[in-house]
Amino acid sequence: MLGGTLIINETEVKMKNSTSKLLPICFSLIFISLAIFVQDALSQSKKCFLWRVQSKTNAVYVLGSIHYLKKEMYPLDEKIEKAFERSDILVVEANISDIKKGDIQKLIGRAFYQGDDILEKHVSAETFELLKKELDSLNLPIEIVNKQRPWFLALTLASLETLKLGFDPNYGIDKYFLSKAKEKKRVLELESFDYQVNLFSQLSERDQELLLLYALKDIHMLKQELDKLIEAWTSGDTKGVESTITRSLLEDGRLAPIYEKLIYERNKKTVSRIEDFLQAKETYFVIVGAGHLVGNQGIIEILKEKGYLLEQL
């Protein structure tokens, strides 16, 4: 009996030792499983800047774009990639991969003053002095921009600063999906490069100067604004994107006609095109600037008011 007791005790000791060694492993496995479950649940609940618009007969995907991004933003969320793969046709504002020589010539004609005409003759002395001060800080002579019209110079300054901050149009959402669609999907334009150039070039001189003035004022806030915009876009935060996009308008009501022409009027036209897509048989993947989707006059709200079912993915 004594021997038997010793054997049993030894067995119990070994089992207890084995169990004590296994417990941390079991807890680790449980923790890992829970972590994976939580991560998967968060992934499912996290929203993208992507919507599925449903009619009675068809669905259209609408993705908000940022035109300049960094390489580290990729890969994009799997939900965005899957929506693109399910789609038959890619729709962009303008096919920037298909800009023709004639488009460039038109741009030059509308973006630059001809003959002896110069920028200094078309903006106030205050705006011109602010421009010279900014150029001095960049060690650039005024002569290199004095032939540019205010609207084009505003875009040029913003683009140069964006590039300096490490953002690249080659990593923009539009460019990324245009590359993926090449020889695989049909590509349609909502507008065109020429149409977009006309939008800016037909602004009044007063509105063009306002654009330039705000580009000069905002240039040193651009990093902060871009960081906020990308953070909001990544998390599907429509209010965050809206506040970034409309900040200047809230600060200065004189910009209202510019927002009306460049954003709100185009939103209505885009909604009309999306309604056409919803009547078709193919699945469309529509990419527009993120700022066009948000707010009471944004594409998403207009589609809701028209009775379509929308789901933010």
When pLDDT is cut at 50, 70 and 90, the band that residue 27 belongs to is very low
As a whole number of angstroms, the distance between CA 23 and CA 27 comes to: 6
Contact 292, 51 (CB under 8 A): no
Q: Which residues 6+ apart lie within 8 Å of 217 measured at CB? A: none
What is the three-class DSSP state of 298? coil
Give the DSSP H/E element, type plus range, for residue 45: helix 2-45
Model pLDDT for residues 2-19, shown as the tens digit of each residue:
444 444 455 555 545 554
Torsion of CA 229, 233, 236, 239, to 10 degrees: 20
Give yes or no for residue 269 having a pLDDT over 60.
yes
Q: Give the residue, 21 or 226, on which the prediction is more confident.
A: 226
- Tokens in use for 211? 């654009």
As a whole number of angstroms, the distance between CA 191 and CA 80 comes to: 23
Model pLDDT for residues 172-226, shown as the tens digit of each residue:
999 999 999 998 999 999 999 999 999 999 999 999 999 999 999 999 999 999 9
Q: Give the residue, 34 or 144, on which the prediction is more confident.
A: 144
What is residue 10's predicted lDDT score, i.e. its pLDDT? 54
What is the three-class DSSP state of 76? coil
- Tokens in use for 142? 């005024």
- Bridge partners of 50, per DSSP, are 63
Model pLDDT for residues 108-130, shown as the tens digit of each residue:
999 999 999 999 999 999 999 99
Contact 195, 94 (CB under 8 A): yes
| Identity of residue 283 | T
Give the DSSP H/E element, type plus range, for residue 213: helix 205-218
Measuring CA to CA, how many Å separate 19 from each of 3, 41, 193? 24, 32, 70
When pLDDT is cut at 50, 70 and 90, the band that residue 31 belongs to is very low
Average pLDDT, integer, range 162-181: 96
When pLDDT is cut at 50, 70 and 90, the band that residue 35 belongs to is very low
**Range 136-143 contact pairs with CB under 8 angstroms and sequence separation of 24 or more:** none
Q: What is the pTM of this model?
A: 0.84
Nearest to 287 by CA among 54, 72, 22, 92: 92
As a whole number of angstroms, the distance between CA 255 and CA 188 comes to: 31
What is residue 98's predicted lDDT score, i.e. its pLDDT? 87
- Tokens in use for 212? 């330039």
